[in-house]
Chains A and B, each alone.
Chain A
Amino acid sequence: MEPIHALSSGLPPSGVAVVRISGDGAFEIVRKLVASQGLPAPRAAGLRRLAHPVSGQLLDKALVITFPGPHSFTGEDVVELHCHGSVAVVAGVQQALADLGSRPAEPGEFTRRAFESGRLDLTQAEALSDLIAAETESQRDQALAQAGGRLRMLAETWRSELVSIAAELEAGLDFSDEADVADGLAASTRARDTLADLGTRIASALATAPVGERVRNGLTIAITGPPNVGKSSLINRLARRDVAIVTPVAGTTRDVIEVHLDLAGRPATLLDTAGLRDTDDPVEAEGIARARARAASADLVLDLGPGGNVVNRIDESGEAAGEQGGRLFLSALTGDGLDALETWLSAWAARQIPSGEPPVVTNARQRALVGYALSAVREAAEEPDPVLAAEGVRAASVALGRLTGQIDPEEILGAIFSRFCIGK
C-alpha cells in the first residue's frame, strides 16, 4: 500500500521522537534521506545523518531501524527514525518524507494496516491501542491480557457451547416428526439448563466491565469547595509529587485543571473545577456545564468546604496532620499531611480496582456486545417456544462472533480505528 508516515511517540518537545514510515517504497524513501550512508541491516539500529534530498539541508542525526515486511508491525516494509524530540526537527523530517511521496497517516492507520494484513484480531487491535495509552501498571496488565487474546478465547468457548445447544434445539425442530430422535422436551430442558449456566459465566465476565473500564479510563477524583479554601494549592502540591504523571492532556475547558495520578498502580485523574466561572458565551457555557457534570460524576470527591472530608490549613489551625474520623487534615502550604492523603487515596483506589485477575471486558464496544449476548442467552433460557429460544442462541453467537471481528469486518473498521491516535 502507499507509504504513510507519522510521529509515533508523544508530542515534542521530548527526549526522543520516533517517526514511523510504512508501505511500499518506505525503504526507498528513507534511503534518499540517508543518501550515501545507506540503510542499516534489517532490525538493527544505525546512526545516520538525515538530509533533505533536494535542498541538501541537514535535518537531524537519528537512529534508523528498518523492518522488512511481512514480519513487521503492519506487515509492510516499516522504517523507524528515532530523532531528537524537537518540534522543528520533527516538522522538518515529516516535510521531507512528504516531499518524497509519503503521506501523513490517518488516525489509527498503522494499526488498521496491521489488522488488515492479519497481524492482529480485533480485540488484540483494541488492546494494542490501550497498551500504547497505558500509563500505569494495571492498565498495562489489562492491555497485555487482552493482547494475548483472553476475551477472544472466552468468547470462542462460549460460542462453541452455544453451537452445541443450538444443535440440541434444532434437532427437536428439524427432526421432530421422524422416528428415533431424542425426546424434544428433554432436549429443550437440558438446553435451558446449559443456557442458564452459560448466562452465569458470561455475566461474571461482564461484571468485570466497570473495573475494566475504570482501569482503561482511569478513576476520577474531583476537588470541590468554596473559593479560597486552597483547592489550587492542593492540586499544585499533588502535581509536584511522585504520584503525578505529567501528560499533556487538554481538558474539556482550559479552566479545568487535570492531574493524572498513579495511585498504587491504578490510574486516576484529579479534576479541579475551581476556575469555572459564569459566562454569557454559549459555547463556553456548554463546556463548563460538561466539566461540572464530569466532576459531579467523579468516583471520589475531595471536599475542602466546611465539614468536608479534607481539612486544609492546619498550619493556621494547629490541628494534627493525618486521617482522623474519616477526615484528612493537611496543609497544602507546608505539605504537612500530604503523605497521609496519598496513602489514603491509594487504599481507596485499590478498593475500586482490586488486584488479581485483570478484567476481561474493558471497553464500551465489548461491553455492548457481551451484554447483548448475555441478554439473548437469558431470554433463550426463559423462552418456552423452542423456535424463539433457538433464535436467541443464534443472536448470541452472532454477537460473540462480532466481538472478535468474526462476523462483520466492514462496520467495525471505521468505528474502532478512528479512535486511535495518529501513528500508534
Chain B
Amino acid sequence: MTPIDVIVVGAGHAGCEAACAAARLGAHVALVTFSKDNIGQMSCNPAIGGLGKGHLVREVDAMDGIMGRAADQAGIQFRLLNRSRGPAVQGPRAQADRRLYARGVRDLVAQTGVSVVEAEVTDLIVEGGKCRGVETSVGPIRGAAVVLTSGTFLGGILHIGEEQTAGGRVGELGASRLSDRLRALSLPIGRLKTGTPPRLDARTIDWAGLEIQPGDSEPSFFSSLTIMTSTPQVDCYITRTTQATHDVIRSAIHRSPMYAGRIEGVGPRYCPSVEDKVMRFGDRDGHQIFLEPEGLNDRLIYPNGISTSLPRDVQEALVRTIPGLDQAQIVQHGYAVEYDHVDPRALDSTLQLKALPGLWLAGQINGTTGYEEAAAQGLVAGLNAAGARWVPDRTSSYIGVMVDDLVTHGVSEPYRMFTSRAEFRLRLRADNSDLRLTGTGLDLGCVGHERASVFRGRSAEVARLSRELKETQLPASSLPTVRSDGATRTLWEWARFPGVDWNMLQAARPQLEAAPDVVETVLTDARYAVYVERQDSDVARLRRDDSVIVPRGTDFAGIPGLSNEMAERLLKAQPETLGQASRVRGISPAALTALLAWLRRQQDVAA
C-alpha cells in the first residue's frame, strides 16, 4: 500500500468532500468508514441546498468539489428558492434520490483516487504533540494529517419515546471510544440534539386532494458542469397538521424525551420538532408538512415538518390525524439524536485543532447541522490537511462566513447557514460562486481541466459583456416604458432601473449577445453595483484587520488597558487576527484599540 498523506475518518458529506479535496491536490488519501455502504448517505431529509445552503454547495462546486455534481445527478426535483426576491438571496435546492446520490458520491470518490478502508477507528496516533494517524479495528494507519468527520457518532444517543439506544444513526454503532479519547484531550465539548421524522410508505398515502408542489420548469443546477437533468422529475405534496394532531401531541407530551428532561443537548430553533411547534405555537390551526419522495423507485416518503421523538404509538396516532395520511404506515419511526461536538473555538481558521496539530475536524462534530455545511467544512479541512493554505474569508464566500463564525463565536445551537449571516451577501451570490472562487482553486491546484476550461470561458464572457454594457450608451427614448429623467445612460446604468430586463436591452441594441448564465451574472452585478461599491470600504477594512495577526499564546491579561472582562473574552475566543477579535461578542472599541496598540508595540520591539 502506498504511504498515506491524509487519513479521513468518516464517509459522510464532510468526509467525502475532505477526501476528494485532498486527493485533487495530489495527496494519497485513505477514507476510513464503518462500511462502504455508508458512503454519501443522506441520513436526514432527501434534499440538498436551500437558502444559504445552496450557496455553500455552489461554492464547494466552484472549488471542483463533488457535492454539487452528485446532487445534480440524483436530482428528481429542482427548485430555485426565493425566486421572487433579489438574486442575492436565491438559493438552489433539489430533492435527491437517496440511492442515486450515494452512488454518485461513491463514483466521484473512486474517480478521484481515494482509497476506501472499511474499519472502525478506535484511537488517534499522537507523536511529538502531533496527530500522525489512527488506530483501527484492522490495524494502525499512519499519515501526516487526519481529518475527523465523525458526525453525530461521538457519544451519540438515540431517543424514541422512553427508549434510548447508543448510536449516531439508527441501526449503527456510535464511536464512543474515540469520544473518550477526545475527552481525554480535555477539549471543550458540548452537547447538541437533532431529530428526524418518521418515514412513511408512499403506497399507504391518499394523494388525491393534497396540494401539489411541482419543481421549476427550468432547473437551476448546483454544478456549473451540469447541463441537464439525469433522471425523470417528480412532484412533492403539501399537507398540514390538524387540531386532532395537536391534541394527540399535547396528551402525550409527558412521554416526550425532550419534555421529560431526558435530553440535555440543545436543539436547533429553526428546525423544531413537531412537539415543540405545538407546545410553543399551539394557537396555530396547523403546521405545513412537505411530503418528499426519498427516490424514484423508493416507497419511502419523508414528511418534512414533523420531526419527532415521541413514542412509537404516539407517532402512529399523530400521523393518522393528518389529511392524506389517515391510512399511512410508518416504515421507520422518527427519533432524536443527542451527540457530542467539539467547541469550534478550539479550531484555527483552517479547522485544525489548535491543541493537536495534524488533526482537522469537519462537519457535525464542529456543532453544525446540514449536509452542505458539512461538505463545505470538509473542503476546507481536506485542502489544508493536504498542505494547501486556504483560509476562506467573509468577503468572498459563505464558506468563509461559516468558518469565521464557528471559530470566533462557537455555537449555542446546531449551526446552519442563512443568507443573513453574510454581511456582504450582495456580492456572494449563487450565480457568481465560480467567479469568486474557481480562480483561487486553480491557484491552489484543486481544480481539474474540465472545470478550468468552463471557468475561463465563462469569466471571459462575463468580462466582455460587462464591458459592452458599460461602453454602450442608450438614450431614454429607446426605453419608452421606463420611468426616468430622460437622460442618456450606459446599458450598465439602465440595468438598475426597475422594469429593465435583458430583452429590453437587446431590443434596443440587437448586437448584444450572450449565454443566459452570463446575462444573469452581469445584469445582477449591474443592478447591485451601487450597493456593492458602497460596501467596498467595509470590505477593505475587514481585509485589513484580518491581516493583523494576533500571535498564538498571547497573554491577554498582560496587555495594558485591557479590562479583566475583555481579556477573558479574548482568552476564550483566542482570535487569530485583529479582525476576528473585533467580531468577538462584547469586545469594546477601547479593548480593540488597546490590543492594536499592544500589537504595534510588539512589532516595534521586534523590528
Chain A residues in the interface with B (C-beta under 8 A): 1, 75, 115-122, 166, 170, 173-177, 179-180, 385-388, 390-391, 394-395, 398, 404-411, 413
Contact = CB atoms under 8 A, between A and B. Distances in A.
A352 B388 CA distance: 65
24 contacts: A75-B560, A116-B561, A117-B561, A118-B562, A118-B590, A118-B591, A121-B589, A121-B590, A122-B589, A170-B420, A177-B93, A179-B287, A179-B289, A180-B277, A180-B281, A180-B287, A386-B85, A387-B86, A387-B88, A391-B426, A407-B582, A408-B545, A410-B596, A413-B593
A399 B425 CA distance: 18
A70 to B, nearest CB: 8
Nearest to B528: A388
A395 B534 contact: yes
Contacts of A117: 560-561, 590, 594
Most buried by B among A394, A395, A409: A409
Given A179-B287, A408-B541, A173 B592 contact: no
B82 A180 contact: no
Interface string B538-569: 10010011000000000000001111001000
Q: Among B423, B425, B592, B593, which residue has the most Cβ atoms of chain A within 10 A?
A: B593
B383 to A, nearest CB: 28
A408 B583 CA distance: 11
B320 to A, nearest CB: 20
A78 to B, nearest CB: 14
A407 B578 CA distance: 12
A134 B459 CA distance: 59
Given A170-B420, A180-B288, A390-B420, A409 B50 contact: no
Interface in B566-602: 566, 582, 588-594, 596-597, 601
A118 B287 contact: no
A116 B593 CA distance: 5
A176 B544 contact: no
B497 interface: no
Nearest to B91: A177
A174 B52 contact: yes
B560 A1 contact: yes
Contacts of B81: 176-177
Given A387-B88, A391-B531, A173 B561 contact: no
Contacts of A394: 423
A385 B82 contact: no
B85 A387 contact: yes
B588 A118 contact: yes
Contact of A175 (B270, B541, B592, B593): B270
B545 A174 contact: no
Contacts of B399: none
B305 interface: yes
A121 to B, nearest CB: 7
Contacts of A385: 85-86
Contacts of A170: 418-420
Contacts of B419: 170, 173-174
A1 B561 CA distance: 10
A115 B89 contact: no
Interface residues of B, number: 48
A115 B426 contact: no
Given A395-B535, A409-B596, 6 more contacts: A118-B563, A118-B591, A173-B82, A177-B82, A407-B589, A411-B541
A309 to B, nearest CB: 44
B262 interface: no
A115 B277 contact: no
Question: Which among B534, B561, B597, B601 has the greatest number of chain A C-beta atoms within 10 A?
Answer: B561
Contacts of A166: 420
B107 to A, nearest CB: 30
Given A118-B588, A388-B86, A177 B51 contact: yes
A170 B590 CA distance: 31
Nearest to B530: A388
Nearest to A401: B589
A404 B538 CA distance: 17
Nearest to A177: B81
B284 interface: yes
Contacts of A387: 85-86, 88-89, 425-426
Contacts of A173: 51, 82, 85, 89, 419-420
Contacts of B290: 179
Nearest to A120: B590
A117 B598 CA distance: 11
Contacts of B425: 387
Nearest to B544: A410
Contacts of A179: 287-290, 305
Nearest to B281: A180
A413 B590 CA distance: 11
Contacts of B426: 387, 391
Interface string B60-102: 0000000000000000000001100110110001000000000
B531 A388 contact: yes
A384 to B, nearest CB: 8
Contacts of A405: 589-590, 593
Interface string B259-299: 00000000000100000010001001001111000000000
Contacts of B563: 118
Given A174-B420, A385-B85, A398-B538, A406 B589 contact: yes
A406 B541 CA distance: 13
A413 to B, nearest CB: 7
Contacts of B305: 179
Given A177-B82, A385-B85, A118 B50 contact: no
A417 to B, nearest CB: 11
A166 to B, nearest CB: 8
A181 B531 CA distance: 28
Nearest to A386: B85
Contacts of A408: 541, 545
B284 A180 contact: yes
A286 B289 CA distance: 76
B550 to A, nearest CB: 14
B216 to A, nearest CB: 13
A62 to B, nearest CB: 29
Contacts of B592: 409
Interface in B285-327: 287-290, 305
Contacts of A118: 561-563, 566, 588, 590-591, 594
Contacts of B562: 118
A116 B589 contact: no
A409 B85 contact: no
Nearest to A389: B86
A176 B418 CA distance: 12
Interface string B39-52: 00000000000111
Contacts of B86: 385-388
Contacts of B89: 173-174, 387
Nearest to B588: A118
B434 to A, nearest CB: 21
A174 B418 contact: yes
B287 A176 contact: no
